[in-house]
Homo-oligomer: A and B are copies of this chain.
Amino acid sequence: MKKMSLNDTRVFEQGMTRFFLVEDSPYFKIINFNLSAGHTFPVHSHDLDGELSILVIEGDGFFLGKDGAELPATTGDILISEIREPHGVRAESDMRIVVTIAPPI
């Protein structure tokens, strides 16, 4: 049992995405990404079985999908995607997300 605070990883750097590994076990990987306003975490996918969740804990932007798809994303929104589905995030404001990937990649 271990606890951490995502308030301790609230770091933004203009023009890039900072990330902090919360957990990496045989069961899942949890990563906190902090995107600076205007930055994009590019659409990508991996040819693996599994799913991921993206929970917005602060800020506004868009969830990105295949063929240019965009879904508005704000605090409290959660996206579920297969690992093999194209997915990404674009930040409008400084934006914080928690990504959980199972199984871990």
Is chain A's interface secondary structure helix, strand, loop, or mixed overall? strand
Q: List residues of chain B with CB within 8 A of the CB of A39.
A: none
A76 contacts B7, CB within 8 Å? yes
This chain's copy number in the assembly: 2
A100 contacts B22, CB within 8 Å? no
Give the residue name and chain of the B residue nearest to A4 (CB). B78
**How far apart sit A1 and B7, CA to CA, in the bound complex (Å)?**
28
A69 to chain B, nearest CB (A): 8
Q: Which residues of A contact B (CB under 8 A)?
A: 1-7, 22-23, 25, 27-28, 30, 49-51, 53, 55, 57, 63, 65, 69, 71, 73-74, 76-82, 85, 87, 98, 100, 102-103
